Amino acid sequence: MPLFQYDSAVLYTIFRLLHYLAILVLAITLIIENRAISPTISDEEAINLVKVDNIFRISAFLVAVFGVILWLGVGKPEAFYGMNLFFQIKIVLFAFAAPLSVYPTFYFFKVRRDRLPENAVPSLVRLLMKLELLLLVIIPMLAYLMARGIGLMI
C-alpha cells in the first residue's frame, strides 16, 4: 500500500497550481526583459538579461510540461481540450511564441560573449520581445474561454 494516495482531483489541483506558477514566472521574466531592453545595452545589462532569459526559458518549458500533464493526464477529458477551438488556437500561439524567443536569446548570449561596453540592440530583437508580450496577453484570454467550455465543437 502506497504511503500517499491521491485521487485525480488532488493531482489536478497540484498540477494546475504548478502550471499557474510557471505561467506567473514566465510573465514576470518576460515583463522584466521588455522593461530592461533599450536601443543600447551595456555589458552588465546583457549579463543580467541572459540570467532573466534563462529563467524565462525554464518557465516556458515548465508551462508546456505541466500543460501537457493537465491535457493528457490529470485534467479534464482529452476530448474537452482536443475539440475546443480556443484550445487549439492557444496551442498554436504557444508553439509560435517559442521560436520568437530564439533570436533575442542568441543576441543576449552574443553580447555577453563579446563584452563590449555598449551594444546596439537590433530593432528585430525588441520587436520579437514585444510580440511575445502580446501573445502573453492573448493566450490567457483563450485559456479562460477554453476552461469555460466556450469554443467546444461537440
- Specify the amino acid at residue 98: A
Torsion (CA) 134, 138, 143, 144 in degrees, nearest 10: 120
In this structure, is residue 96 part of a structural domain? Answer: yes
- Average predicted confidence (pLDDT) for the chain: 89
- Whole-prediction pTM value? 0.86
Q: 5 falls in which pLDDT band (50, 70, 90)? A: low
pLDDT beyond 50 at 149: yes
What is the average per-residue pLDDT within 51-65? 96
Q: Determine the pLDDT at residue 77.
A: 81
Q: Determine the pLDDT at residue 8.
A: 80
In this structure, is residue 57 part of a structural domain? Answer: yes
In this structure, is residue 3 part of a structural domain? Answer: no
Q: 61 falls in which pLDDT band (50, 70, 90)? A: very high
- In angstroms, the Cα distances linking 84 to 9, 76, 137 are 22, 12, 19
In this structure, is residue 48 part of a structural domain? Answer: yes
In this structure, is residue 108 part of a structural domain? Answer: yes
Split into its structural domains, the chain has a count of 1
In this structure, is residue 152 part of a structural domain? Answer: no
Residue 84: all three cell numbers together: 475546443
Q: 4 falls in which pLDDT band (50, 70, 90)? A: very low
- Using an 8 Å Cβ cutoff, are 39 and 120 in contact? yes
pLDDT beyond 50 at 116: yes
